Structure 1
Amino acid sequence: SDVGDFRERFEIVFTEDALSLGENEFDPNDLSIIELSNGDVKFKLNGNHLMQRIEIIDLLGRSLYILDAEDSSDNTYNLSNLSQAAYIAKVTLDNGYIITKKAVKRK
């Protein structure tokens, strides 16, 4: 690359568009993670999209479970082998969006 002063390298453009949720985006609050009394964990998705895959990750970043969500919006899994701790659920939707949500296992 040449040495020198380059004043026409970048361009700043201002637009009237606001940053907000578009019709194709997803609100993470539509995903509920509920621990049932028997130790099972229920994943429920409100809206028009379906879950394809759920990955359970511990706080050290280790992937503990990769669950097939079978293109549904309401699934229950036996996660009784998990100890009482905080976990991260990484949920992949049918439109390719990935939602990460923290949850605490108490039982």
Structure 2
Amino acid sequence: MSKKSRREINAEQRARQQRVRDEARDRCRPSRDDLARMLLWKMIMSTEKHPRGRREALDRLRDEIVDGLDIQGFDVRESEDVFEDLAARYADGLFPFRPKRHLNSA
């Protein structure tokens, strides 16, 4: 049997990945990013109830997340900026996510 070309391998991978995405959509299965967004929102919102104060809890959460991003090679200052932007956006307490209309078709 001859070795597959890079083009054939890539085409098969694209088809396989599309099947995975289609199956996930059909099953209404959240992605890793969907879970991460919801987790971050819940964590930021939970700082409201923190006994030591919201800002202190938020700073501790930011520092832990930014430390992990720093280990991965992201810029610390940029990571802090992104976190603070998200925290400010989430601060109003409103649910910040758009409905996933394609999930309501079932």
Higher strand share: 1
For normalisation by structure 1, the TM-score amounts to: 0.25
Higher helix share: 2
